[in-house]
A and B are shown apart, each in its own frame.
Chain A
Amino acid sequence: EAQVTQNPRYLITVTGKKLTVTCSQNMNHEYMSWYRQDPGLGLRQIYYSMNVEVTDKGDVPEGYKVSRKEKRNFPLILESPSPNQTSLYFCASSLGASYTDTQYFGPGTRLTVL
């Protein structure tokens, strides 16, 4: 089944404790991205990747890192999480970055930073 998977789905952590949220897609997609969703703010893009070893900042990259060592995986790293990073995070992938390439979203990771 074609899908985007994220792990963990739920995470409660404390300020400053490094964490990684994994994202994996099995559709051989080149384009992957991370979003955060906050109440009343919609989705905001954190980082995106056009292909392996190519990453770029989205609208709200501060406090996040990403890597794209393999085509299928695009982990989101929070080196020192803070409470303002409490949010719902979505990974997405698409065949390419063309406007008509459908983005497939993962199920989301709900992160709480205490």
Chain B
Amino acid sequence: GEDVEQSLFLSVREGDSSVINCTYTDSSSTYLYWYKQEPGAGLQLLTYIFSNMDMKQDQRLTVLLNKKDKHLSLRIADTQTGDSAIYFCAETPGGSYIPTFGRGTSLIVHP
């Protein structure tokens, strides 16, 4: 079945860039998403990318998609303490309404 893998933890210094990586197995994935979950809150959609795109930039966020390697990354420039959260990668296989989420990457930003 479909599988989405992420590393569990990432620690960065405030002001540095963060790169959170995700790999997926379903080659029919149509859209890929990044969600942010702050402590005690639900998930918030950060950005998404269509599978025919290589890159998408939105302010401090840059999403890179390597469809050949089935690799998705989220880069956060100038990481701030408010960026500390769990980041989930998700994908929707072609023709399906059931998204598959990764296990989430805990981003810890320290001074």
Measuring CB to CB, which residues of chain A are less than 8 angstroms from any residue of chain B? Answer: 4, 31, 40-45, 48, 50, 56, 58-59, 90, 92, 97, 99-100, 102-103, 105-108
When A99-B31, A108-B42 are in contact, do A44 and B97 touch as well, CB less than 8 Å?
no
User: With the chains together, A53 CA to B90 CA distance in Å?
Assistant: 27
When A42-B101, A48-B98, A99-B30 are in contact, do A107 and B92 touch as well, CB less than 8 Å?
no
Question: What are 22 sample pairs from A and B whose C-beta atoms fall under 8 A apart?
Answer: A4-B42, A40-B8, A42-B102, A43-B43, A43-B90, A45-B98, A45-B99, A48-B98, A50-B97, A58-B98, A59-B98, A90-B42, A90-B43, A92-B42, A97-B97, A100-B48, A103-B45, A105-B42, A106-B42, A107-B40, A107-B42, A108-B41
A42 and B41 contact, CB distance less than 8 A: no
In the complex, which residues of chain B have a beta carbon less than 8 angstroms from the beta carbon of A59? 98
